[in-house]
Amino acid sequence: MRLRNVKGASNIIESSSYIIKNYKDYKSNYKKLFCNSNPIHIEIGMGKGDFIIAMAKKYPNINFIGIEKFDSVIVRAIEKIDEEIPNLKLIRMDAVEIEDVFYKEIDTLYLNFSDPWPKNRHEDRRLTSLKFLKRYDNIFKGSKNIIMKTDNRKLFEFSIISFNNYNYKIEEISLDLYKDNVDDNVKTEYEKKFVSKGFTIYKIKVSK
């Protein structure tokens, strides 16, 4: 996902009103940042922003925060924002920091086309591993809601087992999203590419 040497990326990020620079200062009080008490949804690994930007436009009464690790990727999201979107913010950070950034204020977490980390020794790096599910525990305001999409069947199977072992309940599941009802589906940039190539897209929504 990482892009190479995007000229001026740091300056673009620094000057963007959508970037939360001192994000840890808002822990447990992100409603102050948005100046309302609307639900907050976050996407970890937002990539170039297609999904989070479209969701913020589609659902103006929900606050959206996109999280991405690399300057060279998040800058592409900033460049795509072509109108004012007051319910959208972006954070450049590593997902391992998540417990230090949010506390009992998130309603829904999106994990879209996350890195599958296919080698067994890297299992703990997967965003649906037991290690990460534990990290998410205290970020949720009430019920814990996670929505995941992927083209990687092995990651999907791993995630189902991981969710089940951590007592999440499956609310919705699709083994081939584009053969099911996708009326409300918002695509990511990777999803658009994968669908055009005929890849199967898997989706699951869990809660506890």
Q: Which residues are catalytic?
A: 115
Q: Are 30 and 63 in contact (CB under 8 A)?
A: yes
What amino acid is encoded at 19 in this protein? Answer: I
For the chain, report the end-to-end CA distance as a whole number of angstroms.
31
DSSP state of 40: E
Query: Would you give the DSSP letter of residue 153?
Result: H
What residues contact residue 178 under an 8 Å CB cut-off, 6+ apart?
195, 200, 201
Residue 112: which residues within 8 A CB-CB, separation 6 or more?
A: 43, 45, 46, 47, 51, 148, 149, 150, 188, 190, 191
Other CB atoms within 10 A of residue 74 CB: 29
